[in-house]
Amino acid sequence: MKRTNVQSSEGVTLVGGGFVAPENLSVATALAPVVVGADGGANACKSAGLTPRAVIGDFDSLDDAARQAFPDTAFLHVAEQDTTDFEKSLTRIDAPFILATGFTAPRQDHTLAVLSVLARRVGPPTVVLGEADVIFAAPLELALDLKPGTRVSLFPLAPVTVHATGLKWPLDGLTLDPRGALGTSNEATGDVTLRFDAPGCLVLMPLARLPSVLRALVGPRAVRGQ
């Protein structure tokens, strides 16, 4: 059943209720100017002087002051407790891509839940911004334009077989498994191509490589300023 409530022809910056680095907000909103708060993420929007188009969640973390600060914002209350506010938001946003910040700190249980949702590729293409990394779910085929020496980490949340070119330590034909072989702390020797036999693998790269990631996931025309 389609449950889209927020529609945008541009990228969306989704703000969570965890730690939100100001520099991440600046990077995200420059590329994805439409802002949405995930529950308590509205509090962070208020602190940063940003007005979200919508706030989505069960509102157990939403301050009354934040609600009152945004009289023109759509507040989309989702009462069910079977999904996180992150997942509630992804399933109710229709946009070329989502940049999510405020979802990786300080609570590790929240971070693990976010990574689980990412691996299932819920909603539009989504990139989570951490303090030093970007994290996204790998599509079955991916081509990244990277400088030699760029860190490329593959972390499977399900068994996947990968075929890869352009990595310093070859992974071609290797089956990655969260309980076995991982693909972390690899390096690009130049452009990287990845092909997987199944979904379920996350890719982690330096935050500075976000433009390359977006070009690979959605193409340059979908990204402001690219």
In a domain, 40, yes or no: yes
Instruction: Kindly report, residue by residue over 99-141, the tens digit of the pLDDT.
Output: 999 998 778 888 999 999 999 998 999 999 998 999 999 999 9
Instruction: Kindly report, residue by residue over 32-59, the tens digit of the pLDDT.
Output: 999 999 999 999 999 999 999 999 999 9
32 and 94 fall within a common domain: yes
101 and 194 fall within a common domain: no
56 and 148 fall within a common domain: no
In a domain, 208, yes or no: no
Confidence of residue 3 (pLDDT cuts 50, 70, 90): low
Enumerate the β-bridge partners of residue 14.
36, 100
Q: Which CATH number covers residue 87?
A: 3.40.50.10240
Which structural domain, as residue segments, surrounds residue 193? 141-202
Q: Is the entire prediction scored with pTM above 0.85?
A: yes
28 and 100 fall within a common domain: yes
Task: Give just the sign of the alpha carbon dihedral 176, 178, 181, 186.
Answer: positive
Instruction: Kindly report, residue by residue over 179-219, the tens digit of the pLDDT.
Output: 999 999 999 999 999 999 999 999 999 999 999 999 999 98
Identify the residue whose tokens are 């939100």.
Answer: 20
What is the spatial distance between Cα 197 and Cα 178, in angstroms, rounded to a whole number? 16
Contact 97, 32 (CB under 8 A): yes
Final residue before a domain boundary, out of 98, 131, 164: 131
106 and 164 fall within a common domain: no
Identify the residue whose tokens are 């989570």.
Answer: 128
Q: CA 159, 216, 126 angle in degrees (round to 5)? A: 65
99 and 65 fall within a common domain: yes
Q: Which CATH number covers residue 188?
A: 2.60.120.320
